[in-house]
Amino acid sequence: KQEVTQIPAALSVPEGENLVLNCSFTDSAIYNLQWFRQDPGKGLTSLLLIQSSQREQTSGRLNASLDKSSGRSTLYIAASQPGDSATYLCAVPFLTDSWGKLQFGAGTQVVVTP
Amino acid sequence: KAGVTQTPRYLIKTRGQQVTLSCSPISGHRSVSWYQQTPGQGLQFLFEYFSETQRNKGNFPGRFSGRQFSNSRSEMNVSTLELGDSALYLCASSIGERARTQGYTFGSGTRLTVV
């Protein structure tokens, strides 16, 4: 059974620092891994989708890496801003199941202080 | 293009009542999945529909049901509401067959409060 873990559970940094968020998964046979952002009481916003064949994916200040062999993905956010304060979740599709089922980590709650 | 639309945004219901939530996926997307999010359990998969057929179901009691219409819009229904059903219900849409390579888009959710 695929298990997804995110460490740390919470993170507080001053504005301008780089953020490093970790996601680990137990079954390395994944199709892809998706990073989401969630603001309090809101839905999920997709940030990056990394295919299993890719090592990293970039969008603006965001960069996500994927190491399937070690079961890890890392989301880097450069030069953090107060607007980056949110909960960040990673998710992988169940491999042996239909494509509609994602396994989520518990998330990392980020606070960026001005 | 329009995103995933969930209605209503907020609902307050009494124990024992039933509720219906709606989700309109992105145009062209044929797969709709539903998730329940609570502070204690995180995000839990409810079910997934593709071309009007339920393809997968999570570990929820039979009080939770859903359906998908020919235009891909989906509804989920919860009968005999319990206090523990209070949660944010999220809908995700994907293109379907290629979801594994194209990912999922989520709606803003419906916040259900059972009193």
| Facing A106 at nearest CB: one of B42, B96, B111 | B42
Estimate the share of chain B in helix, then strand, then coil, as percent rounded to the nearest 5.
5, 50, 40
Pick the range with the lowest mean pLDDT from A32-36, B53-57, B99-103.
B99-103
Per-residue pLDDT, averaged over A11-32, amounts to 93
Q: What is residue A31's predicted lDDT score, i.e. its pLDDT? A: 83
Compute the mean pLDDT over every residue in chain B, rounded to the nearest whole number: 93
Q: What is residue A94's predicted lDDT score, i.e. its pLDDT? A: 72
Q: Residue B62 above 60 pLDDT?
A: yes
Q: What is residue B98's predicted lDDT score, i.e. its pLDDT? A: 53
A&B contacts, CB < 8 Å: 72
| Contact (CB, 8 A) for B107 and B23 | yes
Using an 8 Å CB-CB cutoff, list residues of chain A that contact chain B.
31-32, 34, 36, 41-46, 49, 51, 89, 91, 93, 97-102, 104, 106-107
- pLDDT band at residue A98 under the 50/70/90 scheme: low
Per-residue pLDDT, averaged over B99-112, amounts to 86
Q: For residues A32 and A15, what is the distance between their CA atoms, to the nearest angstrom?
A: 31
> Which amino acid does the sequence have at B18?
Q
> Which residues of chain B neighbour A42 with C-beta distances below 8 Å?
108-109
Q: For residues B25 and B4, what is the distance between their CA atoms, to the nearest angstrom?
A: 5
CA distance to partner chain B, nearest, from residue A29 (Å)? 13
Per-residue pLDDT, averaged over B2-27, amounts to 96
